[in-house]
Every structure is written in structure tokens, then in C-alpha cells.
Chains A and B, each alone.
Chain A
Amino acid sequence: MEPFLPSALAFLGPRAAQALIGARGPLPGRPAALAPLASVYSPSIVSNLELLRRGMVGEGPRAGWRETIGAHVAEVEDGRVVIELEVHAGHRQEGGVVQGGIITQIADAAMGMSLLTRQPDDQANVTIELKINFLRPVVEGRLRAVGRVVEMRRALLFSEADVLDEEGRLVAKASSTCLAVPRPWR
């Protein structure tokens, strides 16, 4: 028999959902597959902070999206991550300015990664809501998305990002809500 899952969590699959609602006790029916994460978590796995730092030098799990647009992780510290992007023609829309989705992408990544620095090493997060204001058009130069933690709750994580141009002017301002999930990589 399928264990009951709140509908909002069903898309995550039973294991991820259990990690979120674990305090309510184990789900019935699948004791082996649904062992609490603490028991399958091995402290020898790479920490989230270390993983992000490896990402800065092109190591660790592959992040294809970064290769696609040419973004890189520039700074990682507790509660704060900076993503940089050297703007080129491939980022521009028909009007000659950087397409908003590109800016959103680096803001989202900076926010999610800033949250990751504060999460336990067996957790990661997924964005469930994001809002952005585009304040200035960008044509060229290096963009910096500075993501930082606003507040961490048990399952819901709140963050903000400023996207700055090469002169340090505020280009976009974003905020997001993320959901804590079991870490999908080792």
C-alpha cells in the first residue's frame, strides 16, 4: 500500500518527502527503502561548503547550465555566494540587452547556493518560488549575483540576491523561497 504523502510533497518522491516530514514518524510500508536519512548519511561524504568550493575550480558534480551560459562560482562563504558571468552576445535578446532569464538564472543559483552553505551536509534545496525586479538594462561587462540567506526554517528557506554590474550598480534584485530536500549527490 502506498504511504500517505501530503500532495504538495508527492512530487518529491517518498524519500525526499519523508526527510521533510520525518518528525511525524516513519512512513508505513517500506521500512528498508525509507530508512531515516540520518542512518544512510555517511559523515565521510563531501560537505556542502566543500562541494561549492570545488565548484569554484570546476571540480565536483557537473553543472551543465553553468557551462552553457559561461557562469562561474566566484566566492563562497557562510551564508553568502557570488556567481559571476562575463556577458557576451549569446546572452542578449533581440533588443541588444541581456535577456532577463540569464540574469534570473545567476540570481537563482547564488540564492540557492547561499542557502546550501548553511544546510546540513545531507541536504540540498530546490527553488519553489522566485521574484525579481530588473532595475537597469545590461549590455556588456561582468555581472555579479550576490546571494545571501535571509532566514532558514525547517523545510522552507528564504534568500535574497543583488545582481550588480561591473560598476557595482544594482541591475536586479531577487528574492526566493526554497524547499529543503535530501542531497541528490554524494
Chain B
Amino acid sequence: MRGQPSPAQRWVGIEVRSVGEGEAVLELCTRPEMRNSAEMVHGGFIALLADSAMGTAMGSRLPDGVRHPSFDLKVSFIAPGRIGERLRAVAKVIHSGRRTGVAECRLTGEDGRLVATATATFAILSSTSDQSEA
């Protein structure tokens, strides 16, 4: 279902705030069990939030039922995420081709500081013929 969080996203607590044409805003309220040994938000949750936001943005550009798994994800961790704060991910599609798509994402903390940036590349599996080619 378009813009609906996956079971993994729901389990972590990711919320979809808005989905537009090629854009999505997702949020994650961080909890103590998400902290790393430095008492900050573990980078894996930031990567998950970024990947989810970019995937949701990508999905908004595609017809229902078209799968679009990411096959590349790059995250720059710029400032630590604090436990208890709400992280916000704003994702935009920057390229949507026939077979691949590219999206970028900015993640900010509650005070608006830049926590991370990310880009991802998606495979667009639009029909059964794509799968038989693979």
C-alpha cells in the first residue's frame, strides 16, 4: 500500500508524515533502546529512517504494485542524534528512470540541526518481463 510503513518500520516506530509527488517526510521518535555505546542514536536507525523516507518518496512516483528495492545506500553521519528527540527525514526523488531511480534525503533533529544526509539507488521492477530478464 502506497506510503504505508512496512512491518519493520512500524516495529521501530517510523511514522509517515506526508507523501507527495516524488517527496516524503518520515519521522522517528528515538528511544533509549536505540542508543549506541556513546549514548547517542545508533547510526543503523538513522540509515533505516533515511532508506524508508527515500523508498516512500520513490514509491510515490510509481504505479501501485511496482516494487522498488534499494540496492545502494550511502549515509553521511554529520551530527549525533540524541536519545528522546524526534528525527525528521525529508526525501526527494532526483532521478526516476525506467529501470533505476535515485533519491536523496536530509535528516534533522528537533532543533533543526543537520544530523545526516543520504542518497539511495533503487531498482524499478515494473513488470514480470524484468524479472525473467534478470
Contacts and interface: CB of A to CB of B under 8 A. Distances in A.
B114 A173 contact: no
A43 to B, nearest CB: 31
A131 B117 contact: no
A158 B119 contact: no
Given A133-B102, A135-B102, A173-B104, A151 B119 contact: no
Nearest to B95: A135
Interface string B4-29: 00000000000000000000000000
A145 to B, nearest CB: 15
A69 interface: no
Contacts of B95: 133, 135, 170, 173
Interface residues on B, range: 10 to 19
B102 A175 contact: no
B46 to A, nearest CB: 14
B94 A158 contact: no
Interface in B77-91: 78-79
Nearest to A177: B76
Contacts of B76: 150, 158, 175, 177
Given A135-B102, A150-B78, A173 B94 contact: yes
Q: Does more than half of chain A's interface fall in helix, strand or loop, or is it mixed?
A: strand
Nearest to B118: A175
A97 to B, nearest CB: 15
B78 A173 contact: no
B121 interface: yes
Nearest to A151: B78
Interface string B65-81: 00000000010101100
Contacts of B121: 133
A150 B119 contact: no
B94 A150 contact: no
Interface string B26-58: 000000000000000000000000000000000
Interface in A76-109: none
Contacts of A177: 76
A48 to B, nearest CB: 22
B36 to A, nearest CB: 18
Contacts of A150: 76, 78, 114, 117
B78 A131 contact: no
Contacts of B119: 131, 133, 173, 175
Shortest beta-carbon contacts, A-B, top 7: A135-B95, A131-B74, A151-B78, A133-B102, A158-B76, A151-B114, A158-B78
Given A173-B102, A173-B119, 12 more contacts: A133-B102, A133-B119, A135-B95, A150-B76, A150-B114, A150-B117, A151-B78, A151-B79, A151-B114, A158-B117, A175-B76, A175-B119
